[in-house]
Amino acid sequence: MKGRSYIGVLVLIVCLNSLLVKYHSYFSDEEDKIYIIYTDNTRNNETSLLLHYKSLLQQVTKRHLPKTTLQYYKKSFSGFVAKLTKEEANKMAGLKGVVSVFLNQKSNILTTKSWDFIGLTQYVEREYYESDVVVGVIDSGIWPESSSFDDKGFGPLRTKWNDSCIAFNFSCNRKIIGAKYYLSTSNEPLSQADFESPRDSKGHGTHTASTAAAGNPVTIASMLGLAQGTTRLFWKLNNTLDVRLVKGKIVLCEGKEGVEEAFRVGAIGILMYGPTLPEKPLSYPLPPCFLQTKDVTGIFKYISSTSNPVATILKTYELNDKLAPVVASFSSRGPNTAISEILKPDLTAHGINILVSWPSNLPILDILGETRKSEFNIKSGTSMSCPHESGAAAYVKSFHLTWSPAAILSALMTTAKKMSLDNNRDAEFGYGAGEVDPDKALHPGLVYDADGFLTTAALQLITRDNSSCSEITHALARDLNYPSFALKASHSKQHVSGRFHRTVTNVGTPFSTYRAIVTPPKGLHIYVIPIVLSFTSLGENHTYVVIVDGVLNKSMESASLTWDDGYFKVKAHTVFESGFSVTRQQIRSFLA
């Protein structure tokens, strides 16, 4: 799983992307544009606010003001809307009592672009068969009223679809075509928040389903966001917060632990500092800003220099980071502790700051005192990365209905985008085969297919006795027909030696010849037999052997095997690790 690197000040902002200002125009100048003016919040009643706003307008323009009431705001923030020329807007920004002036415009939340980022653009003409796929989600349920599950544009269900929909407190449509729930066998009573239906009471199932292929695009989607203006700054001392001192102030805290308490006692903003910046923007119940410890010295000096310190938390902005995408620090890493001869993870996909559907009966944050609710939320984690992978797999399946799960996984892995080692020091143990590329996975050239199989443990679950798999068919884990290779040196030795057997199936062009291209690390010898594979038809299979022998110079070494026919490049990643146990920090140091 990976996230984009963010630079700038993190705050909650007013959701301008869906703001529609409606009032009578009172200027005729063609250069007039609509501006949002933020003001201080020192006036408490509506009459004084209106007089203040009109006074500000009179200072920047001599034109006749409208007799009708201006559009103004007083709950979430203090401010009003006016049509001004650019010159008048600049004058307005310099007036006392004005916090900021900015043009009213639509701002699209970038987290809605995750599918575009991996190559699946929404506004591209699609074939009808790309939609003929059913995605199953096993999770905490779903919120059927969410806009992501609107069935507008969907045709009637196929007659062969005969699944049921639990009707109590829940309804299906042509998008959600079936839903069931399962009660725990422990016979424990349901909590007051739970529903005895497929309806989601936790939010997890809703946001994962809306991210995968199950989610419909929503034209206007945003999460709540509020931005405050200039106000007094309060420094949190001795781990205590006095309500009389904090209410209506911006609080300065070390670390993130003081957020909930600051919110509880009435703070309207919070500045946090620590040794490193958060890897991902977090959701807060009040406008936040996070600084590194080295940058907070100036704030301490300022607080000490005045008896009435003030601060402004500005609207957030984002800059592109050329090192992105980056695997998140909390994403699971290899090596595979259960079976070292199977490389894990397989792939990486977006999992940071994803705009998702959210049950409208749940607050957007799980903290005491939070009451805000929204149809959408912003989430991060494996639960966000997995739906992107699932959606990509469903997309490939829509083009290749006869492909097995193993073939689809192979297509996704061998066509994945290469990720930079500069900012992903765990290499394949961090990102696997690379960043998923659904569009390229439609045409992989060759696939590593596999049939279903049973282990001894699975067999005993069926037979309910001590049946075991035949020793005659016993095979090594490294010979699983997987689109990657992994080998671990025995014990503390640096010497590795072994062989892999693989079978590839031609799904590219009928007459094709592939040549093996190997990139081995220094000190290791990798042989491929045969080195050339020739196909005369689609669906034709060929088996080859990879022989490895040599000495590791590091605790982890990377290599690759690519089958190339001049058009298709089918790449399988290879990882070798030493026989002794190493920590992630040690792996990074060896790779440095």
Give catalytic residues, as residue numbers. 139, 204, 383
Q: Are 31 and 85 in contact (CB under 8 A)?
A: yes
DSSP characters over 413-441: HHTPBP--SSS-TTTHHHHTT-B--HHHH
Compute the distance between CA of residue 525 and CA of residue 554 in angstroms, rounded to an integer: 15
- CA-to-CA dists, residue 452 to 135, 449, 462, angstroms: 20, 10, 15
Distance CA 452, CA 404 (A): 9
Which DSSP helix (H) or strand (E) runs through 392? helix 382-399
Closest-CA residue to 539 (of 335, 356, 402, 434): 402
Distant-in-sequence, close-in-space partners of 168: CB < 8 Å, separation ≥ 6: 196, 197
Q: Is 241 in contact with 291 (CB distance < 8 Å)? A: no
Count of C-beta atoms within a 10 Å radius of residue 97: 16
Q: What is the DSSP letter of 260?
A: H
Residue with tokens 């075991």: 468
Interatomic CA distance for residues 34 and 23, integer angstroms: 11
DSSP reduced 3-state for 348: strand
Note whether 314 and 11 are within 8 A (CB).
yes
514/491 Cα distance (integer angstroms): 37
Report which of 88, 93, 30 is spatially closest to residue 62, judged by C-alpha positions.
Answer: 88
Q: Any idea which residue has 């892995």 for tokens?
A: 413
d(CA 311, CA 269): 10
Q: Please report the DSSP string for 483-501 in residue order.
A: SEEEEE-STT--EEEEEEE
3 state DSSP class of 443 = coil
| Ramachandran angles phi, psi of 528, nearest 5° | -120, 125
CA–CA separation, 449 and 505 (whole Å): 7
- The number of angstroms, rounded, from the C-alpha of 152 to the middle of its chain's C-alpha atoms is 26
CB atoms within 10 A of CB 202: 15
Q: What is the DSSP letter of 126?
A: -
The torsion of the CA quartet 207, 316, 101, 40, rounded to 10 degrees, works out to 90
Residue pointed to by tokens 């006749």: 64
Decide: residue 266, CB within 10 A, 0-12 exposed, 13-18 middle, 19+ buried. middle
> Tell me, what amino acid is at 14?
V
Q: What is the rounded distance in angstroms from the CA atom of residue 443 to the CA atom of residue 396?
A: 9
Residues facing residue 103 across a β-bridge: 35
β-strand partners of 379: 354
Identity at 34, one-letter amino acid code? I
